């Protein structure tokens, strides 16, 4: 068993027994009735959700949270402390509130439909969305800017790594991501990495399409740093970027400090690489952690 696996198994067990008192601010994060409390996770719901389901969901959250903590190695672990609220709602309410999302993380509150608990990918969704909550805490001020492609690259990487850790088969989802990465043009890569408004369109279908492309590019951006730029710890370094932004650096400054090169140069290199590989885009995937999902276009 690897050191990472040993640490994760021990830490996950420890996390289940931690009791974090509610602060007055935390207690007011939701007006929904509290169903249960497991460690630092409280589960609330406005709907008739079974308490046993709520407890099972909370325990899954604790395990995914601890996994993300261990991978990211945050410089200031105390920034991650505090209550996390799981708002577990009916599937009908989820469709009404967030019709285009499986789950939503805002601040320290995580909302998802109860039906997702029966989906084999629920653990991976938790790792993704809880990664966003940890990033939010590392940055501190929600008004500080980190581009969405970088945030989503982080979340999707937590999804990928947790799948590997749990030995979950994600060839279907991984195949879709690989197809998306291979389908991106150099012009799309350029726009996604430089224009934060790319996916912010009013038409729901177009928004979904562009949002997916933005997420594929964000995921590949991190993997490009790890493989093509030879930065083995590119994933935990994501956390350093968030932390430096939280301490007053711009995203560009934080990126350069963390990865040892300018953001603009890295973007230019990626765009040039996408242009060179447009006629044989499978080259983008070779040698990456996504190669096992590679299928012809």
Which of residues 139, 160, 179 is at a domain's end? Answer: 139
Which pLDDT score, from 0 to 100, does residue 4 have? 45
Residues 119 and 216 in one domain: no
pLDDT confidence band for 170 (50 / 70 / 90)? confident
Compute how many other C-beta atoms are within 10 angstroms of the C-beta atom of residue 201. Answer: 14
> Is residue 164 situated within a structural domain?
no
Residues 99 and 220 in one domain: no
Highest mean pLDDT among 26-40, 87-101, 178-192: 178-192
Residues 226 and 288 in one domain: yes
| 154, pLDDT greater than 90 | yes
State how far the Cα of 134 lies from the Cα of 143, in Å rounded to an integer. Answer: 16
Residues 113 and 219 in one domain: no
> Is residue 209 situated within a structural domain?
yes
To 10 degrees, the CA torsion angle through 76, 77, 79, 83? 180
* Containing structural domain, residue 213: 170-293
Which residues, at least 6 apart from 119, have a Cβ–Cβ distance to it below 8 Å? 125
Mean pLDDT value across residues 14-40 = 57
Maximum C-alpha span of the chain: 58
Which pLDDT score, from 0 to 100, does residue 172 have? 87
pLDDT confidence band for 9 (50 / 70 / 90)? very low
CATH number at residue 12: 3.30.2010.30
> Is residue 41 situated within a structural domain?
yes
Counting other chains too, the contacts that 187-191 makes at CB distance below 8 Å and 24 or more residues apart are 188/213, 188/217, 189/217, 189/270, 189/271, 189/274, 190/267, 190/271
Residues 8 and 135 in one domain: yes
Percent of the chain past pLDDT 70, that is, above it, reads: 89
> Is residue 165 situated within a structural domain?
no
Residues 98 and 179 in one domain: no
> Is residue 25 situated within a structural domain?
yes
Q: Report how many domains make up the chain.
A: 2
* Encoded tokens for 87: 């708002």
| 22, pLDDT greater than 80 | no
Percent of the chain past pLDDT 90, that is, above it, reads: 83
Which residues, at least 6 apart from 233, have a Cβ–Cβ distance to it below 8 Å? none
State how far the Cα of 199 lies from the Cα of 188, in Å rounded to an integer. Answer: 11
| 42, pLDDT greater than 90 | yes
Which pLDDT score, from 0 to 100, does residue 296 have? 55
Give the pairing of strands 34-38 and 84-89. unpaired
> Is residue 145 situated within a structural domain?
no
> Is residue 53 situated within a structural domain?
yes
Q: What is the mean pLDDT of the chain?
A: 89
Give the DSSP letter string of 187-246: HHHHHHHH-TTTT--SSHHHHHHHHHHHHHHHHHHHHHHHHTS--TTHHHHHHHHHHHHH
Mean pLDDT value across residues 176-202 = 96
* Encoded tokens for 246: 């939280």
Phi, psi of 99 (to 5 degrees): -65, -20
pLDDT confidence band for 30 (50 / 70 / 90)? low
Residues 11 and 125 in one domain: yes
Which pLDDT score, from 0 to 100, does residue 41 have? 97
| 242, pLDDT greater than 70 | yes
To 10 degrees, the CA torsion angle through 28, 128, 77, 148? -90
Residues 49 and 130 in one domain: yes
Compute how many other C-beta atoms are within 10 angstroms of the C-beta atom of residue 87. Answer: 24
| 142, pLDDT greater than 80 | yes
Mean pLDDT value across residues 142-167 = 97
Which pLDDT score, from 0 to 100, does residue 153 have? 98
| 266, pLDDT greater than 60 | yes
pLDDT confidence band for 90 (50 / 70 / 90)? very high
Phi, psi of 28 (to 5 degrees): -100, 10
> Is residue 24 situated within a structural domain?
yes
State how far the Cα of 59 lies from the Cα of 51, in Å rounded to an integer. Answer: 12
Which of residues 139, 162, 179 is at a domain's end? Answer: 139
* Encoded tokens for 77: 């672990």
Comparison of pLDDT for 242 and 25, the residue scoring more:
242
Residues 121 and 8 in one domain: yes
pLDDT tens digits, residue range 51-84? 999 999 999 999 999 999 999 999 999 999 999 9
Burial class (CB within 10 angstroms; exposed 0-12, middle 13-18, buried 19+) of 117: middle
Residues 8 and 124 in one domain: yes
Which residues, at least 6 apart from 21, have a Cβ–Cβ distance to it below 8 Å? none
| 24, pLDDT greater than 60 | no
């Amino acid at each position: 068993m690897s050191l990472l696996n040993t640490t994760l198994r021990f830490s996950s067990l420890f996390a289940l027994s931690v009791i974090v008192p509610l602060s007055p601010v935390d207690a007011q994060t939701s007006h929904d009735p509290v169903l249960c409390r497991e460690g630092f996770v409280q589960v609330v719901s406005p709907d008739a959700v079974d308490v046993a389901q709520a407890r099972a969901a909370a325990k899954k959250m604790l395990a995914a949270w601890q996994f993300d903590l261990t991978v990211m190695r945050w410089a200031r672990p105390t920034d991650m402390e505090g209550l996390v609220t799981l708002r577990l709602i009916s599937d009908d309410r989820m469709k009404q509130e967030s019709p285009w999302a499986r789950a939503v993380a805002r601040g320290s509150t995580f909302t998802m439909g109860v039906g997702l608990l029966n989906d084999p990918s629920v653990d991976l969704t938790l790792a993704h969305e809880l990664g966003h909550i940890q990033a939010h805490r590392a940055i501190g001020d929600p008004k500080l800017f980190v581009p969405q492609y970088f945030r989503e690259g982080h979340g999707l990487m937590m999804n990928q790594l947790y799948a590997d850790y749990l030995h979950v088969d994600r060839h279907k989802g991984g195949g879709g991501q690989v197809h998306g990465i291979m389908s991106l043009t150099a012009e799309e890569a350029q726009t996604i990495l430089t224009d934060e408004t790319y996916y912010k369109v009013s038409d729901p279908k177009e928004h979904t399409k562009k949002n997916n492309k933005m997420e594929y590019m964000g995921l590949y951006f991190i993997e490009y740093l790890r493989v093509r730029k030879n930065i083995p710890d590119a994933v935990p370094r994501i956390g350093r970027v968030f932390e430096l932004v939280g301490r007053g650096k711009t995203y560009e400054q934080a990126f350069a400090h963390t990865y040892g090169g300018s953001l603009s140069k890295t973007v230019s290199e990626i765009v040039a690489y996408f242009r060179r590989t447009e006629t044989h885009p499978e080259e983008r995937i070779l040698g990456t952690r996504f190669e096992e999902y590679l299928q012809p276009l």
